[in-house]
Amino acid sequence: MKIDTTTVQLVLAIAEEGSISRAADKLNLAVAAASKRVTDLEQQLGTKLFKRQPHGVKVTESGAKLLAHIKQIDNLIGRLEGDAQALSHGRDGRIIIGAPKAVIIQSLAKDISRVQEKYPQITLKILEENSQVIQQLLRDKVIDVGIYEKTSGFLDLEKFDYQHDSLVLVYSRHHFQFPTEPVGIDDILNTPVVSLGKGSAILSAVQRAHKSRGRVFRNNFTVSGFDTMLALVRHGLGIGLMPPEILRGFHPEAALGWADIEGDWHQRSYVLSFVEGQAQEQTLRNVVAQLLGTKSQS
């Protein structure tokens, strides 16, 4: 099977845009040429990736499964190009680190700055994904170092403690009222919740809390970021859950309230794992040692 980088980028762009013509424009391709690339690839794969519709295309069920592999190919191509570029510039190689947004904001950005100061010859790249995806990327060796929520761990890799945090409840004072003392899970069971999506540590925490009361969490609103979460919370569509440090970073206005949470279901532990075989061994070990070393010094 032959599949080139342009076709990989084209298929991913079509899935994102929902249109062959818009994806072609994005990659500066003629629409006819783009359409032929998709048709040729579908013939090679023996299945349809997209279903043509009057106003665009829709990813098929089989296409959704194959797109995950195509995305991995794109990631690996990016890794190859990045590593080659780093080596050609006389650097000691490149290390790719994956982590959820909360970890990057609270700890990893500062720690990477320290790593870069000590090892300026190493190229570092960050991928922001939820805990579940981070582990998948580690398993597939797309990234070298992954940080993810401990309770969501499914990899048979050594795990090192990296970060601990907890969530606070965020709400609109115009739409909800909560006491000044810590809020219990029973106080929010019947309240709409704005949560991060599948694979996120926040969603897992809320699901565990509901399960402890024999309830199933009905996901009211799912978002991909804390900024979107706050936008919905401001309009009273539900309450949100986020680490207090991240909330402070948004400089919340007086109309937004926050409350501590009772119990331990909102407390989270993040671990660091790494895989060998892709990056230079000593380079990887230097970065991991420095990341874990900053934890013991904090």
Residue 150, token pair as written in the block: 């401990």
Query: How confident is the model at residue 297, as a pLDDT?
Result: 43
Superfamily of domain 91-164+269-297: Periplasmic binding protein-like II (3.40.190.10)
SS3 state of residue 284: helix
Query: How confident is the model at residue 85, as a pLDDT?
Result: 66
CA 84/CA 91 separation, integer angstroms: 10
**pLDDT tens profile 209-267:** 999 999 998 877 899 899 999 999 999 999 999 999 999 999 999 999 999 999 889 99
Percentage of the chain exceeding pLDDT 70 = 92
Which residue bears the tokens 């569509």?
237
Mean predicted confidence (pLDDT) in 171-178: 94
Please check whether residue 155 is in contact with residue 273, taking contact to mean a CB–CB distance below 8 angstroms: yes
Domain at 168-265, CATH from 3.10.20.30, 3.30.70.20, 3.40.50.300, 3.40.190.10 = 3.40.190.10
User: Torsion angle of alpha carbons 63, 67, 68, 69, nearest 10°?
Assistant: 110
**Residue in 166, 174, 210, 218 with CA at minimum distance from that of residue 192:** 218
At residue 237, φ and ψ (nearest 5 deg) are: -80, -10
Q: Name 241's bridge partners.
A: 169
Domain 5-73 of CATH type 3.60.20.10:
no
Which residue bears the tokens 């990477």?
112
CA 133/CA 259 separation, integer angstroms: 30
**pLDDT score of 279 more than 80:** no
Query: How confident is the model at residue 224, as a pLDDT?
Result: 87
Residue 56, Ramachandran bin (φ over 0: left; ψ between -120 and 50: alpha; else beta): left
How many C-beta atoms lie closer than 10 Å to residue 230's C-beta? Answer: 21
**pLDDT score of 173 more than 70:** yes
Using the 8-state DSSP alphabet, how is residue 183 labeled? B
Q: Name 161's bridge partners.
A: 271
**pLDDT tens profile 83-93:** 666 555 545 57
Residue 104 half-sphere exposure toward CB, CA atoms < 13 A? 16
Query: How confident is the model at residue 88, as a pLDDT?
Result: 55
Mean pLDDT over the full length of the chain: 88
Query: How confident is the model at residue 298, as a pLDDT?
Result: 39
Residue 271, Ramachandran bin (φ over 0: left; ψ between -120 and 50: alpha; else beta): beta
Question: What pTM was estimated for this model as a whole?
Answer: 0.68
Residue 282 half-sphere exposure toward CB, CA atoms < 13 A? 3
CA 22/CA 267 separation, integer angstroms: 44
CATH 3.40.190.10, the chain: domain bounds:
91-164+269-297, 168-265
Question: What is the H or E stretch that residue 1 is in?
Answer: none
**pLDDT tens profile 217-226:** 887 789 989 9
- Residue 56 Cα to chain centre, angstroms: 27
CA 108/CA 231 separation, integer angstroms: 25
Which residue bears the tokens 């062959």?
20
Mean predicted confidence (pLDDT) in 134-149: 91
Question: What is the H or E stretch that residue 116 is in?
Answer: helix 109-118
Question: What is the H or E stretch that residue 296 is in?
Answer: helix 281-297
Q: Name 98's bridge partners.
A: 127, 146
Please check whether residue 250 is in contact with residue 175, taking contact to mean a CB–CB distance below 8 angstroms: no
Q: Which residue has better confidence, 206 or 180? A: 206
Using the 8-state DSSP alphabet, how is residue 175 labeled? T
